[in-house]
Structure 1
Amino acid sequence: MNQLPQQARVVIIGGGVVGCSVAYHLTKLGWQDVVLLERKQLTSGTTWHAAGLIAQLRATANMTKLAKYSQELYGALEAETGVATGFKRCGSITVALTEERREEIFRQAAMARAFGVEVEEISPDEVKARYDHLNIEDVTAGVWLPRDGQGDPANIALALAKGARQRGAIIQERVKVSGIQREGRRVTGVDWHSDDGQQQGHIACDMVVNCAGMWGHEVGRMAGTNVPLHACEHFYIVTEAIAGLTQMPVLRVPDECAYFKEDAGKILLGAFEPNAKPWAMTGIPESFEFDQLPEDFDHFEPILEAAVNRMPMLVEAGIHTFFNGPESFTPDDAYHLGLAPEMDNVWVAAGFNSIGIQSAGGAGMALAQWMEAGEKPFDLGDVDISRMQPFQGNRHYLFERSKETLGLLYADHFPYRQKASARGVRRTPFHHQLKEQGAVFGELAGWERANWFAAPGQDKDYKYSWKRQNWFENSAEEHRAVRENVGMYDMSSFGKIRVEGPDAEAFLNYIGGGDYSVPVGKIVYTQFLNHTGGIEADVTVTRLSETAYLVVTPAATRLADQTWMMRHRGAFNVVITDVTAGEGVLAVMGPNARALLRKVSPNDFSNAVNPFGTAQEIEIGMGLARIHRVTYVGELGWEVYVSSDMAGHVFETLWQAGQDLDLKLCGMHMMDSCRIEKGFRHYGHDITCEDHVVDAGLGFAVKLDKGCDFIGRAAVAERKESGPHNRLLQFRLTDPEPLLFHNEPILRDGECVGYLSSGNYGHTLGAAIGLGYVPCKGEAAADVLASTYEIDVCGTRVRAEVSLKPLYDPKSERVKA
């Protein structure tokens, strides 16, 4: 073993393809003192037995960009390093066996084009022409991606490692990290010992990167961080050599949970079965290295049986290898990347859900750029480790959820699909009352949230489809209740972060774009910006007292938003506390919202006393509450904040008083359909860290003249001067039948210029509504609006009306009534 240094700029833990990629890309940026430690041999965890499929298309534009980067990198690695990567662009075909799957893959194809990926929808006969061995008897369609490919996983990792070494990285095998030393929110160094126990030492370092794969959870705990993932058994077989078999495209048959890869005249058949087998609940064996798990032919047999029917030549082919090896899976099937929320110099790249080879190049590049600049190079919200909630590190939770997540890779990716496993962990104070009234729950960040309400006698389950699902009319009735009368829904899951201390006002004025030097009771809608003017958080801030504010965030981003504040606290004398679970929140919305509140409270809800954008303490029933006059549905309404101990009483009081007004309980689907009619942005879809606040149409919320500097001020001033480079437009389909979800291509005067960031059905406007950015640098708004627009819905172009102002209540007269 070579002598390890006592000091390094960064220590990377784990020598799989991801760790090697991070080392490669950091050294490519010129980093010195890069050390990678591998407990056994490079690739000996999961990389060595990966199938090596390399696909470009992912669920979002940036994830697709990273996947495309990976295959371009692998195509050039051999010339750079001399290590053969086995990379070849053989193309890929995904086939559908049902009409629902056909719509899914055709929507994916349309999305691929918007993301700049070469793709072609093909008929069953065209599938057969490209893959003659396939039985197409019940194939309904296919999608062909000619630039997809396959490679040798281990050699790709070794090539990345060699590239890193050539630029000075130290990559040491058979060295295990035995401890991580910490001071406060920073790691100071790592303890290590050699595999044979003969040597040990300590490396002081500026930062650590956890690339430990299925050991990532364990290493995360050593570093004081939460890295939720769990290993599952992953099965494939390799046939004996098949006479005359030549290079074939990668084939995926998701309806039969199977993928096929030709490899040296043999077929590799792999499976992502619906019921997975979690592995190593009590820990991974210390000796694990290039290990296989016991065969389980009974578990794999249904996949093989369908595959033999799908590819008849397998009937005669003998099985050369039956392989079972572990791979790690996360609670939401997205990998973990970025700066761990709990620490300020611990980075994570782990949990790649069987797509580590195709993701590693791009993930390593993105993480290296993030580490170099200190800010995300582009929106990585899909995979940012800060999306994970603390409870999701619970081992029992991970064991139960991982049974489902492996199979979800090839399950139908229906809109609104809910996870079925590991449910019921986080419940709001109103959960029981809502359930009694017919609530059908979805899950977000572990929270059980009422998404819609079933009618008496109706099944309280989702019936998934790409068309109108079984709850469509239920949600439409809820939508109409809020627009025409009064509805009530549970917002308790939204994050509540208390910021208090003598510097609270100054701190918020530094971190946020709004002006928080406001009277007690004033609510400020605002964004936290980065230095480029991108949006890091979209929140409301309510002044509770001279020294205390309440920041309300989306449920999914509470931890990320709180972490952003913590990291920018600097010398400000403030305390930042998550108080989400302390209060229940009921939103009372609609033209009769004021009438309902007057029935249950003696307080004054008039515009004179409680205008829009203000909060007040009230009596309600026999209890107390605080009401915020704001709305995310575009109607007159209030959010009622009540301490958890009185939540049940307040619900009963409002519900009973509302019977005379025909009060309707509503769900999250209603909230989303109402907000998109009003053009309200949804964080993570319509606005992200790479969307400039001026381009997003939110420049009005940024106060350049508030008398102090703040993060992003210069970038906002510059963009307000130059004008937007993109405009976030609202689209309404002229045909009332098609549905929009997100990522549908936008065509301007016949040319694809972007894609929808979000979509839903506008029950009041009578058609599907979408939001999406259109490039417009140097153009006047009138010129942008003068064009003809279409939306590509599953390959069909549908005309769309377009507007910069909200199509519903553009002057917000209803909100301020």
Structure 2
Amino acid sequence: MTKELPKTAKAVVIGGGIIGCSTAYHLGKLGWTDTVLLERKKLTSGTTFHAAGLVGQLRTSANITQLLGYSVDLYKKLEAETGLGTGWKMNGGLRLACNEERWTEVKRQATTAQSFGLDMQLLTPREAFDLWPLMTIDDLVGAAYLPTDGQANPSDITQALAKGARMSGVSIFEDTEVLDLEIDKGRIRAVLTEHGRIECDRVVVCAGQWTRRFAARFGVNVPLISVEHQYIITESFGVPSNLPTLRDPDRLTYYKEEVGGIVMGGYEPNPIPWAKGGIPEGFHYTLLDSNFEHFEQIMEQALGRVPALETVGVKQLLNGPESFTPDGNFILGEAPELRNFFVGAGFNAFGIASGGGAGMALAEWVAKGEPPYDLWPVDIRRFGRPHFDTDWVRTRTLEAYGKHYTLAFPFEEYSSGRPCRKSPLYERLKAQGACFGEKLGWERPNWFADLFANEEPKDIYTYRRQNWFDAVGREHKAVREAAVIFDQTSFAKFVLKGRDAEAALSWIASNDVTKPIGSLVYTQMLNDKGGIECDLTCARVASDEYYIVTGTGFATHDFDWIARNIPDGMHAELVDVTSAYSVLSLMGPNARAVLEKVTNSDVSNAAFPFSRINTVGIAGCPVRALRITYVGELGYELHVPVEYATTVYDALMAAGGPLQLTNAGYRAIESCRLEKGYRAWGSDIGPDHTPIEAGLGWAVKTRKSTPFRGREAIERQLASGVTKMLACFVPDDPDVVLLGRETIYRNGKRVGWLSSGGFGYTVGKPIGYGYVRHPEGVSQDFVLSGSYELDVARERVPCRVSLTPLYDPEMTRVKA
């Protein structure tokens, strides 16, 4: 007899794969025992049952690596807790390198692993062979071995998680399809199923490849598509059960032992999308027809590595659809479009590796209103307008799938689905040699080639200095010595308006925004732990209106954060006006002289000081000019209605010619900001870092009694001190390439890793930023008294430390 659905629940989880069962398991552990999990067919019958089951841990983010490490820790103990076998084996993982660029990548990965506390060991080809004697090693340069990686049986792990959830009181219902959600005034009221209604206000959708279509019914955007993924299962031929998992990215393949045989699959460069017209009705526990012709390219690569595959019997070529995303990262979090609608989907064929940690993080997000730590790389709010179009999502996702095992070069750009969003200046800048990058669909000039010198505006990727290095140096010099224009039209721009706009923003912003009309305020917005959720500028344009500017990639995230933190009952409306304005950033010591040539407005320092917004007229256009800089020079952001953009740009360039005004791109911005010590959200600062730790305490209004979100946490930290502090690191060797995640050593002891890295052309040295960590406390004296080294691709590099900017335009020299 089937038990009846409960009439009410605290939360309903939709989807009975590993992510849904893990989320239900962890909600139960958090005391949410009246959680209900609904599966339309049977547990694991969607994608989980045909997953390969490799469990690797290392990612480029410390927190995502931590999340995967949590999965490993959970899988170790799950069988003992539930009495169900999981097939978990911590047999280690090998990663091969077959050329010098790949070897550099592997060494940098080993440094990253070390930074994040993982013991990734570098091996010779012979040492790798000793661990994996089935392979040929003629072409190997080296390998990396992570002893704590492993493998599991996906269905068994999921059933164990489900049993653990039931043991905590969670109810699980199979053969129960969700038909609809009941939503009233933007709030979830109930889940409607084929067997009845469950009243609840929190829904967690972990429905795999079904998630996008289901979520779209309620206005929620989940960018993923289904892609065919194949692997073979061989007959048993005496493969030892303790064989490590193996990834051979140069041959696009992966391997694991299974019942004395081998599972082998890979990521072909020409993937096949599935279910373009929609997933067939009733699809479950179903595989696709084997595509031997398409798999042949993977098989050929594998035979060169494991010759035994030529003679061993193949039991099955398994073809199953899996959900993939446009950037190769999975999707977690509360949807910005609908309160209390949570998503865990799009796991890009590593759902088993991330299942334990993702379920833990999602459960905490549901129960506590925030994730356990910063999960920006997988946050659903990283997406934006282009991701509503399934054709665009499919095009980009297929490229991401094809790059799954290719070399992950620094600064590499996607090429598909471009151009999508263009500034009005796009064609002009392209004709002048712009090499564009892309963010959130926007085309943005990264650097400019000298067409007269036959430079080609094209990135050539390498782990060494890349081909644009000298071009960016020219632009950097122009910023410091003359003037440049950066096209920053892609900035996200919001208007907060209403009679309570000041009161609302005062609560949300940690800096003082109660300034006179015309004031410009740089501020963070904090969570209750004092962590930095947003980093942006607010211009007061009227007594009841603010104009807010933030980074391109943070458009969805920051809008959501501000909107959901406007206190109940306050009259303040947030509107996205990004597409209404182009932004021409005029920067450099000659910037004022250029501006004076094109406007009759008084732009002297007395009339237009730093941190002000004025309206000036240029070529018939009313321009919002913001006196601000992110490069450390005199500068103005000129916010121009889009219809005036080309006119204003042409006027500036014509007037600026005698003053050496030139174009410059985002890589010059990055180089200049590193020298000046400006922080970047998403790397140097974020929800896990407070302004006090990041050296931004000066931008927090603790001297005033005004309440703001996060104030209590900041005051506690000011009273008790900090355990980490952001510092700048400059290697002695000017040829070192810093990219971020290099390990920081203080007096020979590991104390952290770089959050960002690059090159400063004025100081003539590489520059990195990272937090010096010490559980007993960190002070300025502690940081400055140490002797420092950086581990760069497993080589120790001496460096100097600084807590003040390396460059200041008022200084007669630079610190280097």
TM-score above 0.5, yes or no: yes
Residue 343 of structure 1: aligned partner: 338
Residue 357 of structure 1: aligned partner: 352
1:519 equivalent among 516, 522, 526 = 516
1:264 equivalent among 256, 259, 268 = 259
Q: Give a deviation string over 1:259-279, Cα, whole Å, max 9, x none.
A: 011111111111111221111
Residue 509 of structure 1: aligned partner: 506
Q: Which residues in structure 2 correspond to 1:177-216 (within 5 Å)?
A: 177-193=178-194, 200-216=195-211
Q: Give a deviation string over 1:408-465, Cα, whole Å, max 9, x none.
A: 2211111111112122221122212111111111111111111111221323221111
> For structure 1, which segment, 654-663 or 640-649, has the greater mean C-alpha deviation from structure 2 after superposition?
654-663
After TM superposition, give the deviation of residue 369 of structure 1 in Å.
Answer: 1.6
What is the percent sequence identity of the aligned residues?
A: 45
Residue 734 of structure 1: aligned partner: 732
The answer to whether 1:396 aligns with 2:391 is yes
Q: TM-score, normalised by structure 1?
A: 0.97
> For structure 1, which segment, 311-320 or 750-759, has the greater mean C-alpha deviation from structure 2 after superposition?
311-320
After TM superposition, give the deviation of residue 316 of structure 1 in Å.
Answer: 1.2
Q: Which residues in structure 2 correspond to 1:213-362 (within 5 Å)?
A: 213-243=208-238, 245-362=240-357
2:639 equivalent among 610, 616, 641 = 641
Q: Which runs of 5+ in 2 are unaligned?
A: none
- For the 8 Å contact 1:208–1:347, the answer to whether it is kept is yes
Q: Which residues in structure 2 correspond to 1:422-501 (within 5 Å)?
A: 422-456=417-451, 457-501=454-498
Could you say what secondary structure the match of 2:722 adopts?
coil
Residue 37 of structure 2: aligned partner: 36
Residue 555 of structure 1: aligned partner: 552
Paired with 2:813 and 2:686, the residues of 1 have a C-alpha distance of 28
After TM superposition, give the deviation of residue 779 of structure 1 in Å.
Answer: 4.5
Could you say what secondary structure the match of 2:10 adopts?
strand
After TM superposition, give the deviation of residue 720 of structure 1 in Å.
Answer: 1.7
Residue 769 of structure 2: aligned partner: 771
Paired with 2:41 and 2:385, the residues of 1 have a C-alpha distance of 30
- For the 8 Å contact 1:212–1:350, the answer to whether it is kept is yes
After TM superposition, give the deviation of residue 45 of structure 1 in Å.
Answer: 0.9
After TM superposition, give the deviation of residue 378 of structure 1 in Å.
Answer: 0.9
Residue 679 of structure 1: aligned partner: 677
After TM superposition, give the deviation of residue 515 of structure 1 in Å.
Answer: 0.9
Residue 712 of structure 1: aligned partner: 710
Residue 571 of structure 2: aligned partner: 573
After TM superposition, give the deviation of residue 93 of structure 1 in Å.
Answer: 0.5
Aligned pair count reads 809
After TM superposition, give the deviation of residue 244 of structure 1 in Å.
Answer: 5.6
Residue 196 of structure 1: aligned partner: none
After TM superposition, give the deviation of residue 810 of structure 1 in Å.
Answer: 8.3
Residue 564 of structure 1: aligned partner: 561
Paired with 2:155 and 2:374, the residues of 1 have a C-alpha distance of 29
- For the 8 Å contact 1:180–1:222, the answer to whether it is kept is no
- For the 8 Å contact 1:93–1:252, the answer to whether it is kept is yes
Paired with 2:156 and 2:470, the residues of 1 have a C-alpha distance of 54
- For the 8 Å contact 1:191–1:202, the answer to whether it is kept is yes
Q: Give a deviation string over 1:675-695, Cα, whole Å, max 9, x none.
A: 011110000100011101111
Q: Give a deviation string over 1:105-134, Cα, whole Å, max 9, x none.
A: 110111101111121011112111211121
- For the 8 Å contact 1:210–1:348, the answer to whether it is kept is yes
After TM superposition, give the deviation of residue 602 of structure 1 in Å.
Answer: 1.5
Paired with 1:617 and 1:435, the residues of 2 have a C-alpha distance of 29
State the superposition RMSD in angstroms. Answer: 1.5
Could you say what secondary structure the match of 2:378 adopts?
coil
Paired with 2:704 and 2:614, the residues of 1 have a C-alpha distance of 25
Could you say what secondary structure the match of 1:238 adopts?
strand
Q: Which amino acid aligns with 2:749?
A: E
Q: 1:779 to 1:50 in 2, by over 3 A?
A: closer
After TM superposition, give the deviation of residue 721 of structure 1 in Å.
Answer: 2.2
After TM superposition, give the deviation of residue 519 of structure 1 in Å.
Answer: 1.2
Could you say what secondary structure the match of 1:30 adopts?
coil
Q: Which residues in structure 2 correspond to 1:363-402 (within 5 Å)?
A: 363-402=358-397
Paired with 2:531 and 2:507, the residues of 1 have a C-alpha distance of 15
Residue 806 of structure 1: aligned partner: 805
Residue 171 of structure 1: aligned partner: 172
Q: TM-score, normalised by structure 2?
A: 0.97
> For structure 1, which segment, 347-356 or 620-629, has the greater mean C-alpha deviation from structure 2 after superposition?
620-629
Q: Give a deviation string over 1:617-661, Cα, whole Å, max 9, x none.
A: 111123221111100111111111100111111111112222222
Q: Give a deviation string over 1:593-634, Cα, whole Å, max 9, x none.
A: 111111111122211001111111111123221111100111
Paired with 1:717 and 1:439, the residues of 2 have a C-alpha distance of 47
Q: Which runs of 5+ in 1 are unaligned?
A: 194-199
Q: Which amino acid aligns with 2:580?
A: G
The answer to whether 1:138 aligns with 2:139 is yes
Paired with 2:782 and 2:77, the residues of 1 have a C-alpha distance of 43
2:754 equivalent among 748, 753, 756 = 756
Residue 790 of structure 1: aligned partner: 789
- For the 8 Å contact 2:326–2:394, the answer to whether it is kept is no
Q: 1:366 to 1:813 in 2, by over 3 A?
A: farther
- For the 8 Å contact 1:634–1:814, the answer to whether it is kept is no
- For the 8 Å contact 2:772–2:778, the answer to whether it is kept is no
1:622 equivalent among 620, 623, 633 = 620
Q: 1:782 to 1:28 in 2, by over 3 A?
A: same
1:416 equivalent among 387, 411, 417 = 411
Paired with 2:550 and 2:292, the residues of 1 have a C-alpha distance of 48
After TM superposition, give the deviation of residue 726 of structure 1 in Å.
Answer: 1.4
1:603 equivalent among 572, 577, 601 = 601
Q: Which amino acid aligns with 1:480?
A: K
After TM superposition, give the deviation of residue 248 of structure 1 in Å.
Answer: 1.1
Paired with 2:219 and 2:596, the residues of 1 have a C-alpha distance of 50
Q: Which amino acid aligns with 2:322?
A: E
Q: 1:814 to 1:430 in 2, by over 3 A?
A: farther
Paired with 1:727 and 1:704, the residues of 2 have a C-alpha distance of 19
After TM superposition, give the deviation of residue 814 of structure 1 in Å.
Answer: 12
Paired with 1:136 and 1:294, the residues of 2 have a C-alpha distance of 34
After TM superposition, give the deviation of residue 778 of structure 1 in Å.
Answer: 3.9
Paired with 1:774 and 1:760, the residues of 2 have a C-alpha distance of 18
> For structure 1, which segment, 713-722 or 679-688, has the greater mean C-alpha deviation from structure 2 after superposition?
713-722
Q: Which amino acid aligns with 2:168?
A: R
Residue 582 of structure 1: aligned partner: 580
Q: Give a deviation string over 1:503-535, Cα, whole Å, max 9, x none.
A: 111111111111111111111010001111110
- For the 8 Å contact 2:384–2:555, the answer to whether it is kept is no
- For the 8 Å contact 1:634–1:812, the answer to whether it is kept is no
- For the 8 Å contact 1:530–1:712, the answer to whether it is kept is yes
Could you say what secondary structure the match of 2:516 adopts?
coil
> For structure 1, which segment, 179-188 or 493-502, has the greater mean C-alpha deviation from structure 2 after superposition?
179-188
- For the 8 Å contact 2:725–2:779, the answer to whether it is kept is no
Paired with 2:281 and 2:612, the residues of 1 have a C-alpha distance of 59
- For the 8 Å contact 1:85–1:155, the answer to whether it is kept is yes
Paired with 1:657 and 1:98, the residues of 2 have a C-alpha distance of 51
- For the 8 Å contact 1:226–1:390, the answer to whether it is kept is no
After TM superposition, give the deviation of residue 780 of structure 1 in Å.
Answer: 3.7
Paired with 2:704 and 2:421, the residues of 1 have a C-alpha distance of 40
Paired with 1:765 and 1:107, the residues of 2 have a C-alpha distance of 25
Residue 720 of structure 2: aligned partner: 722
Q: Which amino acid aligns with 1:313?
A: A
After TM superposition, give the deviation of residue 245 of structure 1 in Å.
Answer: 4.8
Residue 27 of structure 1: aligned partner: 28
